[in-house]
Amino acid sequence: EAGVAQSPRYKIIEKRQSVAFWCNPISGHATLYWYQQILGQGPKLLIQFQNNGVVDDSQLPKDRFSAERLKGVDSTLKIQPAKLEDSAVYLCASSLGPGSNTGELFFGEGSRLTVL
């Protein structure tokens, strides 16, 4: 079974430019998460989707970050304009969703963003 796919793996941009990250979760997984992991820190939840609806975006900097999950499948996270402090790895994860036994999160390989 295919895992969580993310692209691009690496992106270097200058501040004030824009960038988009794509995630394709495991087939049948209802819940999709975007995390930001700054070097040396734990993942920070940015936004969580249940099917194609947002259920938590409390820590998403909405003035510059946006995300969507079309048709409840793949998702895109956009940053515009980027700031130096956005340099991080952006992790996408998916799970079967509420009601599943463990709710285990399956992670993609991440997208590493460097803002110069």
Partner 1 sequence: AQKITQTQPGMFVQEKEAVTLDCTYDTSDQSYGLFWYKQPSSGEMIFLIYQGSYDEQNATEGRYSLNFQKARKSANLVISASQLGDSAMYFCAMRLKTSYDKVIFGPGTSLSVIP
Q: Give me the residues that bind partner 1 (CB under 8 A), please.
A: 31, 33, 35, 41-45, 48, 50, 55-56, 89, 91, 93, 95, 97-98, 102-107, 109-110
Both tokens assigned to 89: 């790895």
The C-alpha atoms of residue 14 and residue 4 are separated, in whole angstroms, by 28
Closer to partner 1 by Cβ: residue 53 or 70: 53
Q: Which of 24, 36, 19 is nearest to 78 (CA)?
A: 19
What is the nearest approach in angstroms of partner 1 to the Cβ of residue 112? Answer: 8
Closer to partner 1 by Cβ: residue 5 or 17: 5
Largest Cα–Cα distance of the chain, in whole Å?
43
